């Protein structure tokens, strides 16, 4: 057998080639490591030498995002909200119980989001025995990058038969009843949400299709209230796979806990959207959306979070 040098090179190129592939998750973890190791406050010399500080790096959307994912990203956060509440429903609880997040996790998470302008506990939504799920989405419209804005909220109740009530504020208040199979304001058919915990592959397909079809409004931040308490492991894994597929970045939160992931992706109008997952429990402990001007809005899920974050 005669081997040419080219044959050797070709053979070498196949050697361990599978290990050379860089997936989204790893790429984002590497980026996070770099951000962690760059000094938080670069010296004046560094700044003059155009050495980016971590603030500037973190303000950038992690590399690899695509503009067309924006609608998908927003839709995913909305549906994740629905998913969590869909799973939690059935317990009959009228209030949202504090999640199993520990104090070791929550304070650091929220401190990292210290520029939050709004942290609100959620749990006042009413739910009857007939309620299948409820959720609230709060959208902040920042005006011209200013500090003042308006707030849109959406609240939704869905009964076991698929009918329900949806309240949407801004630009005009709406309060409508819907029947099973109706398309809700915002375009989310309730049956998609209901299917979420049971069939992650179908959910991924539905989310994908829905997100691409959604014409998002001009808001530059979207905040969803999220909880995956009780979400079955396969469904959680499916969601994470899907998040990865559409380009969300799952980044470990250094120094906090290995199981805590920060999922980050592009949001509308250049904003960056994040959700902090506790993978041990499947619960999202906080979500945030950062607008291009550096302003962030944060949504946390439990009253415990609120007390800890304010720290007084």
Partner 1 sequence: MPVDDHHEASAAAGFSAVYEQHVDAIYGFLARRVGAQLAEELTAQTFVEALDRHDRYDPERGPIGPWLFGIAANLLRRHYRQEERALRAIAAYAGRQPHVGEDDEERIESRIVADERWPAVAEALLAMSPGERDVLLLYAWADLPYSAIAGVLDVPVGTVRSRLSRARGRLTAILGPTSSSSEDASDPPAPDQIGRRR
Least distance in Å: CB of 8 to partner 1? 5
DSSP per-residue string spanning 117-185: S-----------TTEEEEEEEEEEEESTT-S-EEEEEEEEEEETTS-EEEEE-SSS-EEEEE-TTPPPT
- Tell which one of 24, 26, 192, 267 touches partner 1 (CB under 8 A): 26
Check residue 146 for interaction with partner 1 (CB under 8 A).
no
- The piece of 9-17, 69-77, 118-126, 258-266 that touches partner 1 (CB under 8 A) is 9-17
Least distance in Å: CB of 162 to partner 1? 44
Burial 36-52 (b: 16+ CB within 10 A, else e): bebeeebeeeeeeeeee
Output 171 or 294, the one with its CB closest to partner 1: 294
CA distance 15 to 270: 40
Pairing mode, if any, of strands 272-278 and 283-290?
A: antiparallel
DSSP per-residue string spanning 176-230: EEE-TTPPPTTS--HHHHHHTTT-HHHHHHHHHHHHHH----S-S--EE----TT
- The piece of 32-40, 116-124, 268-276, 283-291 that touches partner 1 (CB under 8 A) is 32-40
DSSP per-residue string spanning 84-129: HHHHHTTS--SSPPPPS--TTTHHHHHHHTTTBS-----------T
Check residue 147 for interaction with partner 1 (CB under 8 A).
no
Check residue 49 for interaction with partner 1 (CB under 8 A).
yes
Check residue 172 for interaction with partner 1 (CB under 8 A).
no
- Tell which one of 63, 92, 233, 311 touches partner 1 (CB under 8 A): 63
Number of amino acids touching partner 1 (CB under 8 A): 45
Output 47 or 205, the one with its CB closest to partner 1: 47
Check if the beta carbon of residue 191 is closer than 8 Å to that of residue 161. Answer: no
Least distance in Å: CB of 182 to partner 1? 43
Output 61 or 281, the one with its CB closest to partner 1: 61
- Tell which one of 24, 31, 110, 309 touches partner 1 (CB under 8 A): 31
Output 115 or 161, the one with its CB closest to partner 1: 115
Check residue 15 for interaction with partner 1 (CB under 8 A).
yes
Check residue 67 for interaction with partner 1 (CB under 8 A).
no
Check residue 48 for interaction with partner 1 (CB under 8 A).
yes
User: What is the number of alpha carbons within 13 Å of residue 138 lying toward its C-beta?
Assistant: 20
Q: Give the binding site for partner 1 (CB under 8 A).
A: 1-9, 11-17, 19-22, 26-27, 29-31, 33-34, 37-38, 42, 44, 47-53, 55-57, 59-60, 63-64
């Amino acid at each position: 057998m005669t081997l040419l040098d080219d044959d050797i090179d070709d053979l070498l190129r196949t050697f361990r080639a599978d290990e050379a592939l860089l997936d989204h998750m790893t790429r984002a973890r590497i980026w996070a490591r770099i951000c962690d190791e760059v000094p938080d406050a670069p010296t004046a010399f560094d700044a003059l030498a155009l050495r980016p500080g971590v603030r500037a790096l973190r303000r950038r959307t992690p590399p690899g995002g695509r503009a067309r994912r924006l609608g998908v990203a927003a839709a995913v956060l909305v549906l994740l909200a629905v998913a969590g509440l869909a799973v939690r429903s059935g317990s009959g609880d009228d209030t949202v119980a504090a999640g199993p997040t520990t104090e070791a996790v929550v304070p650091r998470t929220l401190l990292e989001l210290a520029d939050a302008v709004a942290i609100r506990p959620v749990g006042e939504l009413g739910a009857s025995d007939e309620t299948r799920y409820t959720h609230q989405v709060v959208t902040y419209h920042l005006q011209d990058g200013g500090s003042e804005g308006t707030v849109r909220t959406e609240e939704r109740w869905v009964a076991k038969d698929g009918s329900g009530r949806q309240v949407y504020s801004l630009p005009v208040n709406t309060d409508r009843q819907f029947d099973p199979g109706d398309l809700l304001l915002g375009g989310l058919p309730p049956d998609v949400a209901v299917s979420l915990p049971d069939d992650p592959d179908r959910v991924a397909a539905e989310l994908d299709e829905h997100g691409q079809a959604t014409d998002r409004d001009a808001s530059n931040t979207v905040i969803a209230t999220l909880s995956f308490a009780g979400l079955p492991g396969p469904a959680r894994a499916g969601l994470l796979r899907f998040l990865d597929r559409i380009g969300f970045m799952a980044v470990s939160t250094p120094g906090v806990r290995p199981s805590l992931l920060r999922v980050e992706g592009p949001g509308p109008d250049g904003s960056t959207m994040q959700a902090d997952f506790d993978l041990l429990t499947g619960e999202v402990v906080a979500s945030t959306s950062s607008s291009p001007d550096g302003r962030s809005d944060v949504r946390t899920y439990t009253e415990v979070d609120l007390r800890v974050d304010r720290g007084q």
